[in-house]
Structure 1
Amino acid sequence: MARHGRTGDSEAREPLLTRYTKDTEVDSDEGVIIFDKSSSTGSMGSQQMRLTYEEAVEAAGFGAFHYGLLVVCGWANASDAVEILCVSFLLPTARCDMQLSTSDMGLLTSSIFLGMMLGGYMWGYLADKKGRRKVLILSLTVNGMFGGLSSMVPWFSIFLVMRFISGIGVGGSIPVIFSYFSEFMPRKRRGTMISALATFWMAGNILAAGLAWLVIPRDWKYILGPWAFQSWRLFVVLCSVPSLTSALFFALLLPESPKFLMEAGREKEALRVFKKMFTLNMRGKEKDFTVLGLSVSPKTDLEESKILGKGGLAWALKKALMPIRQMFQAPLKGRSFVLLVIFYCISFGYYGLWMWFPELFARLEQGGSPCTNMTQQHSLRNQSCYPVKTAVYMEGFIIAASNLPGNIFTILMMDNMGGKILLSSSLLVSSLSVFLIYVVRTKYQSLILSCVFSGVSVVAWNALDVVGTELYPTHLRSSALGFFTGIGRVAAIMGNVVFGDLVDTNCAMPILLVSAFLLTGGLVAPLLPQTRNTDLT
């Protein structure tokens, strides 16, 4: 990688810039030299060339900027976990206060997945066209704003709509966060840092469980006419705070992805981002920013906008669906079909089982296997919401904390083993742990097995986050992740429907089906290309 050599102390910087004036164009606004030619030879005897994206990331260094980026993006990832898990924790009390039937509760738990299914591809497409940062600010704002507003609604139908719109925001921020974050990372650290970002999901899980444990059991309410603001509504408000603060942090602190800017032909803006990265990473070190030019793609935004304007809505829709068509054409077709299977299998298995763990725990308290006692539905109908039992929140907190070993293992081993191996092996072990649920006889055994499943399955999710960002080029990355996330939400909804239909009539079937899906995902994962230490395209 070409860099300026250090000149003698007596040599002034102004003459140095003057010598290169013939071969360069100086941006007077920013004070950055941008090469018009592919190379130039100066008195230092080194050849200066435009840098590729990977070379520019390396030249910008690694340090304070990346750790700050990890904190902000991690907080946004945690906010998504809080918003998704919020509904499951409020159900025990909200079902009484809003007089919800079993079908109403099913609609409520599915509403956020429906929103995520719709928002995933939509936001991903916009992120590939308009920029990652703008989409993150908007989607996080939608998530937090409508999540918070839902706490004020006394009617279930409006509450359901609010949670659905909040889910649309969640569906956008999850895939775009990983695309955005990965595009700042040097090749050799990308796997480890994306794994570290994924661990913040566990932090959000723990935060949601902890808040629920702390707030919901409180015997507190504020009466305003015929409407009561109970403790679970305060919990919903608090769950919206992470998303809103994340949007604020992105708006005030972070730049646009330099990879996106280069692909959009915005060289000057990309150089400013790399210079900002360099300044923060090299603070206190005597080094100069030596990136003078970047290899960028030609600008296409203006041409595309003209075409869309002439073609109308039909052409705009066709254009929006074009990334999906490209994903399933050579040379990306094979990996796209494999990822389609994996996302469906892991989402059906994980979310299908996760939402029903409390049900299986309750059956175990009646004695015997979780699938041999069919009286639980009747007992739930007769169960009082108050006083609130704290056991479910304590168990949720324990299971959330059990993700920690899996997250640490992923961070340490991702760059050494590669995402593909970790993905396949963790899905196979998860399949085995689910199969053993049918065998256990006590609640204690089931809790231990649930913690094992939680700790192992998180390795698969983390590996999928890493692999998914590295398999597609920049102009498809967010669209692809959004599309597959949407497929995962369809699977999550179907998993919950299958459990709801069969848990009382043939409980063994959905449990064995989850195990089979996870096994299938583990067996097809080795068909993915190896992405460890590869360049982002």
Structure 2
Amino acid sequence: MTAKQTEPVTIVSLRELNLGTPEPQPRESKTFTVEEAVETIGFGRFHIALFLIMGSTGVAEAMEIMLIAVVSPAIRCEWQLENWQVALVTTMVFFGYMVFSVLFGLLADRYGRWKILFISFLWGAYFSLLTSFSPSYIWFVFLRTMVGCGVSGHSQGLIIKTEFLPTKYRGYMLPLSQVFWLAGSLLIIGLASVVVPTIGWRWLIRIASIPGIILIMAFKFIPESARFNVSTGNTQAALATLERIAKMNRSVMPEGKLVEPILEKRGRFADLLDAKYLRTTLQIWVIWLGISFAYYGVILASAELLERDLVCGSRSESEVAVTVGVLEESQSPCYCHMFAPSDYRTMIISTIGEIALNPLNILGINFLGRRLSLSITMGCTALFFLLLNICTSSAGLIGFLFMLRALVAANFNTIYIYTAEVYPTAMRALGMGTSGSLCRIGAMVAPFISQVLMSASFLGALCLFASVCVVCAISAFTLPIETKGRALQQIK
């Protein structure tokens, strides 16, 4: 038999296949997001400057808010005001805060956090100075309402800090911002003890405007949020900001190209009530309202307890009424009772309480989580409101007020952090703004409980404060999202 011949075509085909070289595949270029850039750059000198400048917004805000508590006796005497008229001043301040908090939140998500923060400080400083020239009670109420409108934009400073901080540092650095609020509160009380008895409450307001004016000039050192810039499509500005931060921190940027989706729909109220966030939003609003109600209730109740001696055994040097001008107290139908030096000391001691639980608050936030930590501190706040009814000495009263201030400050720390973390960039400022707005409803009601109801039924007022705190504790415990260790979300 003859051997079968191999087909030459097959040989050629195999040879062609073996010799053929594959076409080169295009290499994918590396990309990174703002979140990855922030984490890669890490914490450094830029964040320290950011902490000092943006944190100092708390000094200005605390001085403007606490101002009402320390000048209330003076304006009561000067214009012969009744209890409800004194309470109305605080209520109207928070009414302005409530209305503009939502407006500033909407504008910040659409036009930028930095711009709104700058405008709010200009607004607040201008109307605060005008307040010192108020010719009458009506003008005083109106101008302080305008100050409240401006102060509502200060929360954008916290959002800028949150959006620049790496994840693991947020739970530590944001609670430390309470130091600035404490400094502002102590500063206004200390100034009031010296300025009001000597040159009057009008000069106190003028001096209190100075920190806000200084901060306006310091804002130029802080850039717009890189997360906001990329959400609007301004990638170059975001990249320039991140490179500047990396240079200040002596760090490096991630390799590749900055890529983020452009968010066409930003700052929409409907997003807060979307199915994904509806329950979270409603519960956050309840918590903010309750925390504010308790916080300002404690502040105003402290002043009221000192001014009117509503707790047995807590009588102070303020028993001696101080008249204004040539008016005698017997000629005035209103209660005219100025703070004595011991009352200012008591206010300072109780205010220092706001920093007392900060180390424990930081540990709780970072190890127990935001929800459980907030639930515990709210429950303890309710307990100490009830303990305030115990017949005690002046030292006992100071101790209870000290713990209450510590607890309500811890509550505010935690809910601020949680709200800034739970919402994505497209609605973060609006989420904070609406929460701050709802929170002012609690602040508006608090004066009438602390300054009016408390005079009629001390126990009834305390039970009301405690009940609200219990509701907030339950709401915090059942929040659907835990943000501990979670990266900030860019989109829904």
Q: Normalising to structure 2: TM-score of the pair?
A: 0.86
Amino acid aligned to 1:338: Q
Matches within 5 A, 1:267-306: 267-282=235-250, 288-298=252-262, 300=264
Distance 2:165 2:311 in 1: 51
Cα distance change, pair 511–296 in 1 and its aligned pair in 2 (3 A): same
Judge which range, 438-447 or 155-164, deviates more: 438-447
> 1:95 offset after TM fit, Å?
2.4
Q: Distance in 2 between matches of 1:87 and 1:245?
A: 22
| Aligned counterpart, 1:533 | 485
**What's the counterpart of residue 132 of structure 1?**
113
Q: Which residue of 2 aligns with 1:409?
A: 360
Q: 1:243 aligns with which of 212, 223, 228?
A: 212
CA distance in 2, matches of 1:86, 1:40: 65
Task: Provide structure 1 residue ranges, at least 5 long, that are not aligned to the other structure.
Answer: 1-38, 42-46, 221-230, 305-318, 371-375
Residue 97 of structure 1 and its aligned partner are, at CA, apart by 2.7
Deviation of the 1:92 alpha carbon: 1.7
Letter in 2 for 1:526: F
| Pairing 1:95-244 to 2, within 5 Å after superposition | 95-174=76-155, 176-218=156-198, 220=199, 231-244=200-213
Q: Say whether 1:94 aligns with 2:46.
A: no
- In structure 2, list runs of 5 or more residues that go unmatched: 1-24, 316-320, 322-328
Flag the 1:440–1:177 CA change in 2: closer, same or farther, 3 A: farther
The structural deviation recorded for 1:290 is: 4.7
Give the C-alpha shift of residue 289 in structure 1: 4.1
Instruction: Work out the CA distance in 2 between the residues paired with 1:471 and 1:248.
Output: 31
Q: Choose 1 or 2 for highest CA Rg.
A: 2
Q: Give the aligned partner of residue 223 of structure 1.
A: none
Amino acid at match of 1:213: S
Shift of 1:466: 0.8
Cα 1:149–1:471 shift into 2, 3 Å: same
Contact 2:364/2:370 (8 A) holds in 1: no
The CA deviation at 1:490 is 0.8
Residue range with higher mean Cα deviation, 463-472 or 519-528: 519-528
Moved more, 231-240 or 353-362: 353-362
Supply the distance in 2 between the matched residues of 1:431 and 1:366 (Cα, whole angstroms).
Answer: 18
Superposed displacement of residue 441, structure 1: 2.9
Q: Does 1:74 align with 2:47?
A: no
Q: How many residues of Structure 1 are paired with residues of Structure 2 in the alignment?
A: 451
1:254 is displaced (CA, Å) by 0.8
2:426 aligns with 475
CA deviation map 1:159-205 (0-9, x unaligned): 2211111100111212x222111000111111111112233212211
Provide Cα deviations, 1:7-51, integer angstroms capped at 9, x if missing partner: xxxxxxxxxxxxxxxxxxxxxxxxxxxxxxxx985xxxxx75211
Equivalents in 2 of 1:369, 1:394: separation in Å?
Answer: 14
For the pair 1:339 / 2:301, whether they are aligned, the reply is: no
- Shift of the 338–360 alpha-carbon distance from structure 1 to 2, 3 Å rule, reads same
Rounded to whole Å, the distance in 2 between the matches of 1:94 and 1:212 is 13
Equivalent of residue 515 in structure 1, options 453, 456, 466: 466
Q: Is the 8 A contact 1:125 1:478 kept in 2?
A: yes
**Aligned position for 1:17:** none
Quote the Cα distance in structure 2 between the aligned partners of 1:110 and 1:487.
13
Instruction: Give the partner amino acid of 2:207.
Output: L
Q: Which amino acid in structure 1 is aligned with residue 214 of structure 2?
A: T
* Alpha-carbon distance in 1 for matches of 2:135, 2:341: 25
* 1:411, distance to aligned residue in structure 2 (A): 3.4
